[in-house]
Structure 1
Amino acid sequence: METSEHRWLNDTEMRAWAGFLETYQLLHRLVDRQLRDDGEVTQVQYEILTRLNESPGRRLRMTELADRMVCSRSGLTYQVTQLEKAGLLWRQTDAQDERGVLAILTDAGRQVLDRTAPGHLATVRGGFLDVLTEEQIAQLADIFDTARAHLGGIDGLCYGTTAGAKRPAGPPE
């Protein structure tokens, strides 16, 4: 029953929402298990290493890294500290702006990516993409682009974005 206060989900909407949640949780567990087994890193840590690897000089300012991630600045700092303790990256004051700190991928971090990337790709494909048609994948990409753009526009919700869209910079580090 729909009232002016609540717009309940219909059966199809509930199936879509519940399916999204369960699929996300199962896929996240599968990917996380593979990354821990192959590289002893979590999914968030793998994303940090990947973003550094894809950046010029394999380095990014912490604020820029946070803007590219969907995690809080304090959460990012914690993960970067764990990766630094493991020798997979290191931090250094930005010579061009002493207020900034750079996160820099180490050779050991690059080796973790080299070791985990093939299994990661196989896990994402085998656990998700290969069971869909090209048309379904294109539809999902469009759906998630729309949802991400909407959610990214909600003040205070996003700390960054995984799609590379420009987000306002946060406070200085």
Structure 2
Amino acid sequence: MADPNWLDERELTAWKQFLSTGAAINRLVDQQLKRDAGLSHQQYEVLARLAEAPEGRLRMTDLAGAAVTSKSGLTYQVGQLEKAGLVRRCGCAGDERGIVAALTEAGWQKLREAAPEHAALVRDLFVDGMSRKDFAAFAAGLAALHDRLNPPAI
């Protein structure tokens, strides 16, 4: 068995900083959304992904991929949003087994109310902490990782 290709000190430090920074940003975003909109970060992401879809509707399987969550996690979050009247589930035309999640008018309104403060916080925490040059390099690196980990469907 070959020796592991251990991370060097710089690589390990960057990995640890990536993990702690991501956790801190997620925690702060979650706190802001709960305080200002009564939504978890995951719930906000579901609403935002639905808003980006045609007519505010997506199949649950597509929504799980777009919202970067498990199918069971998505089912729970959509259930909570449905109880709050922000989302409704309905059958999928042409597929008896398919379920579609759709934004309600209250869901659209909640998203419109929450989006400005959310965007401002994301800008403050994620974008403005780096120079434009550093952010451009960071964004390019993230795009490369994203493309490597999410190859296009054939």
- 1:111 corresponds to which letter in structure 2? Q
Shifted more, 49-58 versus 95-104: the winner is 95-104
Output one character per residue of 1:71-98: Cα deviation in whole Å (capped at 9) or x when no partner.
1111111111111111110001123322
3-state SS of 1:70 partner = coil
Residue 46 of structure 1: how far off its partner (Å) = 0.7
3-state SS of 1:100 partner = strand
What is aligned with 1:53? 51
More helix by share: 2
TM-score (norm 1): 0.82
Residue 100 of structure 1: how far off its partner (Å) = 1.3
- 1:48 corresponds to which letter in structure 2? V
Give the Cα separation in 2 of the matches to 1:23 and 1:52: 27
- 1:134 corresponds to which letter in structure 2? R
Q: Runs of 4 or more off by more than 3 Å in structure 1? A: none
What is aligned with 2:90? 92
Output one character per residue of 1:9-29: Cα deviation in whole Å (capped at 9) or x when no partner.
212112211111111111111
Equivalent residue for 1:79, pick from 77, 80, 86: 77
- 1:143 corresponds to which letter in structure 2? G
Change (3 A) 1:42 1:167: farther
Residue 167 of structure 1: how far off its partner (Å) = 4.5
Output one character per residue of 1:111-164: Cα deviation in whole Å (capped at 9) or x when no partner.
2111111111111111221121222122111111221222235xxxxxxxxxxx
3-state SS of 2:97 partner = coil
Give the Cα separation in 1 of the matches to 2:67 and 2:31: 21
Equivalent pairs counted in the alignment come to 154
Larger RCO, structures 1/2 (Cα 8 Å, 6+ apart) = 1
Residue 103 of structure 1: how far off its partner (Å) = 0.5
- 1:6 corresponds to which letter in structure 2? P
